[in-house]
Amino acid sequence: MNFVYANEDHSTIINEKNGVVFITFPKLVKAGICHGFSTRIGGVSEGHLSSMNLSFTRGDDPEKVQENFRRIGAAIGFDAKDLVLSSQIHETEIRKVTAKDKGDGIVRETVPGIDALVTDEAGIPMYTSYADCVPLLFYDSEHHVAGMAHSGWRGTVAKIGAKFVAYIQREYGSKPENIIAAIGPSICRSCYEVGEEVAEEFKQVFLPEEIPLIMDDKGNGKYQLDLWKANELILTQAGIRKENLDITDICTCCNSDKLFSHRASHGKRGNLGCFMCL
């Protein structure tokens, strides 16, 4: 599988099962956590949604989307009918899920307005959706807590990653130094041009000395923004150890033939999915 890699960190693993291609992260694999990030490969959707579209809101046939969920579930190792789906609004709401939530978004309406999911119960597969935004994955091995957060530029400015760490500290007694985390496939610095308005938001919440690490000023009010580095700073400042953090080497926009990218497709695309299950 010929992905274009943004660096040589080897921080992702490409997997294939029954024709379904998905991505995992070495540190979470070593911890034994069922997880995965989908690609476009191995589904039944057609056209600009081909083929593993995992969204019911992009104009796809719902039966095809259901079949795609079944296929990705079988490949990663969970039952799709038990999935709990988030309904993301680019904010920082975190939802604790339990066995009674199984099927939310798959067999019944999901709860709207959630950008992060977390559980300490086994057998509850969770899903968050992407097409350039940053997936953040977390696992506390001591308290057996797993969760994910959706971090677009707004979520990154709001430091949803740090809020997630604080949430599981408060709710489960997690210690940041015991958390294994991953920053998943998303748009890279070279592909992500933003304007002055977005850049100013980052200048308000990051220190002056951090700005060159996360943004290049191209002039004329244009900047190249690094959401990977921004989220790395957020997570390490929240107490996650660098040695417990996998940072993606795969850009969705650079690999738009294999991954859905909002920017590369000008919005004509399906959705990718990130999954975790204890």
pLDDT, tens only, 113-125: 678 999 999 999 9
pLDDT on residue 91: 60
CA-to-CA distance for 4 and 53, rounded, in angstroms? 21
Closest CA relative to residue 185, chosen from 86, 116, 80, 256: 256
pLDDT, tens only, 185-204: 999 999 999 999 999 999 99
pLDDT on residue 131: 96
Check: CB of residue 147 under 8 Å from CB of residue 174: no
Q: H helices of 105-194, where?
A: 153-157, 160-172
Q: Where are the domains of the chain?
A: 13-191+227-277
Count of CA atoms in the C-beta half-sphere (13 A) of 240: 29
pLDDT, tens only, 136-174: 999 999 999 999 999 999 999 999 999 999 999 999 999
The helix (run of H) or strand (run of E) holding residue 214 is helix 211-214
pLDDT on residue 108: 45
pLDDT on residue 115: 86
Report percent pLDDT > 70 for the chain.
95
pLDDT on residue 88: 53
Closest CA relative to residue 60, chosen from 253, 263, 221, 269: 269
Residue 90 has pLDDT above 70, yes or no: no
Residues 16-26, mean pLDDT to the nearest whole number: 98
Out of 3.30.1360.170, 3.40.50.980, 3.60.140.10, 3.30.10.20, select the CATH number for domain 13-191+227-277.
Answer: 3.60.140.10
pLDDT on residue 111: 55
Kindly give the pairing relationship between strand 215-219 and strand 145-151.
Answer: unpaired
> pLDDT-based confidence at 103, cuts 50/70/90?
confident
CA-to-CA distance for 253 and 2, rounded, in angstroms? 15
Q: Left, alpha or beta for 113 (phi > 0: left; psi -120 to 50: alpha)? A: left
